[in-house]
Amino acid sequence: MELSSFSALSPKRPQFWQVAKRCCILAAIIDVAFFAIFMVLDSPILAWVNLLSIAMYLTAYVAYSTRKNKLATILIWTEVLYHSALGTLLLGWDSGFHYFLLMFVPAIFVSMSLKPAIASLVGLWSYYVGLDLFGWYYPPLQPIDGDALVLVHLFNLTVVFAMFAYLALYYLNKVNITHDKLRFFATTDPLTRLRNRRHMSELLKRAVESYQKEQRLVSVLLLDLDHFKSINDTYGHEVGDTVLKAAADILRDTVRDHDKVSRWGGEEFLVFLPRTNLNHAAQVAERIRKAIAKYPWHTVLNEKIRLTTSIGVSELKPDDSVNTLIKRADDALYRGKEAGRNWVELESEASCHRPRIVLSSQPD
């Protein structure tokens, strides 16, 4: 006998049905073992009942394979209910057949909405208590000797433990996968697959905190594609999206592994450069500016267009917050746009007490 009743848990998920099918096969194998055990113990009713159980599990397996999930579920529930009752009535409570019923408890709550789940739970509890009470007041109908009873009891316990462990691992795996997916969607921009603004803000917040403790160098680049609106207007929004994706790839490929790139807004990107001072950040920015200007955009757009970017650069200072750090990069970016675009501009002298360095302004 076996229980793979974790049936309608997630009806639309093929992965779950694979598990259910596997449980049917396991259950059928366990029932073969039961058949042998009860033949040896000279308990023919229970032995032959197992043949019926094997047939039910194999039918359930075929039903799952042909997407008749409801039929499979009914078969499994029926098998577990009658088999646990029969084992308990014939061999007694100590045979441990009732443990299989307990496996329905989590299944009920995972597979049903609250009201039917509570009703099913009450029904299951009544069934379980009914068997228990029977054991209190009536002797087993077809008892087996003490050693044989211990053997059956231990076998049932072991199977139930193994099944619980298997299903617990399945659910753990599911929870982990779901957690990873949620994390991915919460932190990633769906178009470019770069970090989203919220995630980048968190990284920057942590960087500011650690800077204040350990004085670590941090710089940021704020990039904005030049005249991007005209690409949308001329070629359409879809082409605009393709350009954004390609620009994201260029950024990813141009920075070091430990640098972090994010989509900050529409056609704006923010790159976080740990352990980097302003001058080195300016060199990274220049590399990016050149890479975007030189990129063969005609391969993406089928049109001979020119695309450039302007970049503002700032470095974290002792009294900085995330906002002030980005504000200086934003101001620099604005000046870069004013200066004619395709431009790398460092944070201003007034705010950072360094000479202003304009790295580039020439078209490539």
Ligand X SMILES: Nc1nc2c(ncn2[C@@H]2O[C@H](COP(=O)(O)OP(=O)(O)OP(=O)(O)O)[C@@H](O)[C@H]2O)c(=O)[nH]1
Report, as residue numbers or ranges, the catalytic residues: 267
Stretch that binds ligand X, among 16-24, 102-110, 228-236, 299-307 (CB under 6 A): 228-236
Query: Residue 227 interacts with ligand X (CB under 6 A)?
Result: yes
Chain center to CA of 274: 28
Closer Cβ to ligand X, 89 or 223, answer by number: 223
Closer Cβ to ligand X, 34 or 264, answer by number: 264
Greatest C-alpha distance within the chain: 97
Query: Residue 38 interacts with ligand X (CB under 6 A)?
Result: no
The span from the CA of 304 to the CA of 274, in Å, is: 36
* CA pseudo-torsion sign 70, 75, 76, 82: positive
Query: Residue 267 interacts with ligand X (CB under 6 A)?
Result: yes
Stretch that binds ligand X, among 7-15, 213-221, 235-243, 351-359 (CB under 6 A): 235-243
Question: Which of 224, 320, 345, 347 is the binder for ligand X (CB under 6 A)?
Answer: 224
Query: Residue 275 interacts with ligand X (CB under 6 A)?
Result: no
305 contacts 292 by C-beta, under 8 angstroms: no
The least CB distance from residue 266 to ligand X, in Å, is 2
The span from the CA of 363 to the CA of 266, in Å, is: 24
Query: Residue 92 interacts with ligand X (CB under 6 A)?
Result: no
Query: Residue 225 interacts with ligand X (CB under 6 A)?
Result: yes
Tokens (6 digits) for 208: 């500011």
Stretch that binds ligand X, among 5-13, 34-42, 67-75, 218-226 (CB under 6 A): 218-226
Query: Residue 246 interacts with ligand X (CB under 6 A)?
Result: no
Closer Cβ to ligand X, 230 or 283, answer by number: 230
Stretch that binds ligand X, among 43-51, 120-128, 197-205, 237-245 (CB under 6 A): 237-245
Residue 224 has φ and ψ, to the nearest 5°, of -140, 125
Chain center to CA of 108: 24
Chain center to CA of 94: 42
The least CB distance from residue 246 to ligand X, in Å, is 12
Query: Residue 226 interacts with ligand X (CB under 6 A)?
Result: yes
The span from the CA of 143 to the CA of 148, in Å, is: 10
Query: Residue 229 interacts with ligand X (CB under 6 A)?
Result: yes
Tokens (6 digits) for 275: 């352990």
Question: Which residues on neighbouring strands pair with residue 222, listed in sequence order?
Answer: 270, 312
Question: Which of 33, 191, 275, 340 is the binder for ligand X (CB under 6 A)?
Answer: 191
Query: Among candidates 98, 107, 156, 94, which has minimal Cα distance to 130?
Result: 98
Query: ∠102-104-108 over CA atoms, to 5°?
Result: 135
| Residues lying near ligand X in the complex (CB under 6 A) | 191, 224-229, 232, 237, 240-241, 244, 266-267, 337, 341
